[in-house]
Structure 1
């Protein structure tokens, strides 16, 4: 336990330092904007990520430490898995699992970036721990805690719903039903509904817009493209690392840990099937990774293969960090350079008012870096949180718009006969426009 605490604490300190040094990405800035306008839930995602940014506002004077509450919660997942494994796996193997997680591109370095994945990973893991304890101890208190964990997980990301079929298949396949306390299940359902009530209430009030958006986002195409499935399979093998994937595939686990199969391969199989309907984003099956890494522990060569895993992903992480902190290097990649580009652009928000942007990414980043409220112009791009705000529609006879040269304008600009004037080119990519009536 002492060795684990040391590894956990040192890795957390490293994460907190890096999290404070690296500027928020555009998506993170978008979630940060949500924290400026707290709601029960949001069109794009449930509200947990906004709540965590709200808690982090006290740390904003310390560079980008607004991330810290979310990073700490995400790092707490490691502690949860220590308690899941400690009675079944020797500590040397638990250390292997910890290093696999810390050097994972999504569970490790990726956990510096605040997205809904951080809280859902914590509550997914906590729900596994509580479900196992409920089966063993049959305590109503644990069943209630399981419901609370699942409800909060639903407030983090809708993918938590996959927990239920994974658990049900495990109970059926492994003949564990006799260990289930029916009154406990009812208590789990009740507490789960209570703790996810903000999301349900928001959707009821907004015609289930968020549920509909996420369903269409994951199953939106009417025709099939084989590249969706191929890119999904190859991408997941790469993220997990080929040797680790093979180790998990070929492992034989003790009876007490057979649930790892269901919570590992279950989500991966689900998203494999959805890849026949639409493109699956690389991070969507992240809930499967801790269990898959747990399966890999039971391959006889995993400790030998660990060094290749650490060298490979450690080198990639070092390269990414070098790119982030070296201006000449980060300009070679548009996505890496984007936060720094928006940070420079944010001075415009202090000079022109009211200022609008042509995308939620740009509007959110300008708002975050300048601390001057900046909105996306209504209907200029796909519907998102900004379109729900009254400020997205100009109310005076003059407003300014910063946009990329290639981006168009909403139709209401011409319909309402706004007059456009170019104020200046800010860079080869951006232009500042003035609109008057």
Structure 2
């Protein structure tokens, strides 16, 4: 490990810590001015927090618990729903910094922590509610524990690694990439091998932490696992290399073009040092596995988020040797880091030319819910129903505290979403107000005519929406 002059290293550490704090405060300070509404997933995660459980339809439970804690401390406003994400990313940056200082020296580690805080993907994720955010925190904690255990056996660090793996899995199942990558490191690198005792402790602790979610899945027809498998969407062998290129383009967007390019270049010589070989092996399995998924049926850029913890560290180990490129990386990522929190302030007006809103997916949901409530009141109905997950997600958020009963269209077969699983329309009761996109009635009442239709001209629900006054016999035999 290189020897560093402690004075400059201390100043750099202080500067990087101040940078992480300033970035985090910038993100939090601008949140109250955001005009963006809750996206479908965000509203759903908030709703999970209202009904605490050990698991949910599409994800493990920790994101719901997190939002329940935050909104209990504050309110159900978008600010309190979003604020913990920025704080968690700051914590992840500090863990990345600590790991880098252990592996690569004080200078590289400090800069890597600041670099993580400024990643375009982190800047965007700090403004959204994503299960990646807590998962990445626990991935970084598990990585730090793994590095510590490689240096010296420790019961405390073994427990920490196991708890981090378990809590990461309780955040998002993509945390499974950590034990896969760690096992590969231990197999190929003697320096990455920890004692069997510590590995056993970590495995037991991880299993204990994740066991309630396993039990929940077994009690609910393996719902979350089945949904995760459905997302993989394998339909025979169809190689789509265009989607692979799209996925890899997304990786440059996540970490920034300069930093991710540095990571790829650093891979060429990573095997020369055990520290860089370790980081390469902690990053590559995730990227390779998701690349295969991309070729077979497509993959979102964030599906490989777990690989970017080690990628940032490895990329920074190269960039510190090229000051001009290091400055370029921070300049590009820094501009995006500052700009993105500003953009959400203008979510309801920012557009390219005369086209739709640039952030259309975050606008227009509330208007649909409020119009549906107005129609229900006019018609003397107390029950709203829809089959659309996005409509239902906003119903439950925007209309919270109202006297309206909110339900999903009852499913036929395996439910399509959380609301169909947990809040299907019951058989008992009177007529309902059914809200649908494209003004389309339920299949069993295909001849029904809407009592009102309207056009959403911009935002998430662009197109025709319809309201139908329907008897429950549309879904149940009388």
- Asked if TM exceeds 0.5, the reply is yes
CA distance, structure 2, for counterparts of residue 334 and residue 403 of structure 1? 22
> What value does the CA root-mean-square deviation take over the aligned residues?
2.8
Specify which of 285, 305, 313 is matched with residue 325 of structure 2: 305
Q: 1:354 Cα deviation (Å)?
A: 1.1
CA distance, structure 1, for counterparts of residue 367 and residue 82 of structure 2? 21
Compared with structure 1, are the counterparts of its residues 21 and 112 closer, same or farther at alpha carbon in structure 2 (3 Å cutoff)? same
Question: Which deviates the most, 11-20 or 319-328?
Answer: 319-328
- Residues 310-368 of structure 1, C-alpha deviations (whole Å, 9 max, x = no match): 44445556278336516332594467233331122332354323112342122112322
Specify which of 7, 26, 38 is matched with residue 19 of structure 2: 7
Counterpart residue number, 2:9: none
Determine whether 1:405 maps to 2:425: no
Compared with structure 1, are the counterparts of its residues 334 and 434 closer, same or farther at alpha carbon in structure 2 (3 Å cutoff)? farther
Counterpart residue number, 1:270: 289
Q: 1:194 Cα deviation (Å)?
A: 0.8
2:57 aligned counterpart, secondary structure: coil
Specify which of 362, 380, 389 is matched with residue 339 of structure 1: 362
1:425 aligned counterpart, secondary structure: strand
CA distance, structure 1, for counterparts of residue 197 and residue 258 of structure 2? 44
What is the TM-score when the length of structure 1 is the normalising length?
0.88
CA distance, structure 1, for counterparts of residue 347 and residue 263 of structure 2? 37
Counterpart residue number, 2:48: 34
CA distance, structure 2, for counterparts of residue 274 and residue 424 of structure 1? 41
Compared with structure 1, are the counterparts of its residues 250 and 320 closer, same or farther at alpha carbon in structure 2 (3 Å cutoff)? same
CA distance, structure 1, for counterparts of residue 255 and residue 152 of structure 2? 34
Question: Which deviates the most, 225-234 or 283-292?
Answer: 225-234
CA distance, structure 1, for counterparts of residue 391 and residue 284 of structure 2? 37
Question: Which deviates the most, 31-40 or 116-125?
Answer: 31-40
Specify which of 118, 123, 129 is matched with residue 108 of structure 1: 123
Question: Which deviates the most, 372-381 or 91-100?
Answer: 372-381
Q: 1:36 Cα deviation (Å)?
A: 1.6
Question: Which deviates the most, 353-362 or 92-101?
Answer: 92-101
Counterpart residue number, 2:307: 288
Determine whether 1:134 maps to 2:155: no
CA distance, structure 2, for counterparts of residue 7 and residue 284 of structure 1? 27
Contact 2:101 2:110 in 1 (8 A): no
Contact 1:356 1:400 in 2 (8 A): yes
CA distance, structure 1, for counterparts of residue 16 and residue 253 of structure 2? 27
Determine whether 1:327 maps to 2:348: yes
Compared with structure 1, are the counterparts of its residues 95 and 28 closer, same or farther at alpha carbon in structure 2 (3 Å cutoff)? same
Question: Which deviates the most, 185-194 or 320-329?
Answer: 320-329
Contact 1:377 1:393 in 2 (8 A): no
- Residues 14-43 of structure 1, C-alpha deviations (whole Å, 9 max, x = no match): 222334443322211111111122221012
Question: Which deviates the most, 63-72 or 313-322?
Answer: 313-322
Contact 2:115 2:312 in 1 (8 A): yes
CA distance, structure 1, for counterparts of residue 313 and residue 114 of structure 2? 12
Counterpart residue number, 2:467: 432
Counterpart residue number, 1:355: 384
Question: Which deviates the most, 269-278 or 288-297?
Answer: 269-278
CA distance, structure 2, for counterparts of residue 281 and residue 326 of structure 1? 23
1:355 aligned counterpart, secondary structure: strand
2:48 aligned counterpart, secondary structure: helix
Contact 2:258 2:325 in 1 (8 A): yes
**Unmatched segments (≥5 aa) in structure 1:** none
Output aligned runs, 1:343-422, within 5 Å. 343-348=366-371, 350-351=373-374, 352=376, 353-371=382-400, 372=402, 374-379=406-411, 383-393=416-426, 395-405=428-438, 408-413=440-445, 420-422=449-451
Question: Which deviates the most, 300-309 or 100-109?
Answer: 300-309
- Residues 122-141 of structure 1, C-alpha deviations (whole Å, 9 max, x = no match): 01110001111122221122
- Residues 215-273 of structure 1, C-alpha deviations (whole Å, 9 max, x = no match): 23225221313322222223323433443233112224543343211112221111112
Compared with structure 1, are the counterparts of its residues 413 and 36 closer, same or farther at alpha carbon in structure 2 (3 Å cutoff)? farther
Specify which of 165, 184, 187 is matched with residue 198 of structure 2: 184
CA distance, structure 1, for counterparts of residue 66 and residue 301 of structure 2? 23
Question: Which deviates the most, 421-430 or 243-252?
Answer: 421-430
What is the TM-score when the length of structure 2 is the normalising length?
0.81
Counterpart residue number, 1:52: 66
CA distance, structure 2, for counterparts of residue 323 and residue 146 of structure 1? 36
CA distance, structure 2, for counterparts of residue 123 and residue 24 of structure 1? 25
**Unmatched segments (≥5 aa) in structure 2:** 1-12, 377-381, 458-462, 473-478
Determine whether 1:24 maps to 2:38: yes
Q: 1:280 Cα deviation (Å)?
A: 0.9
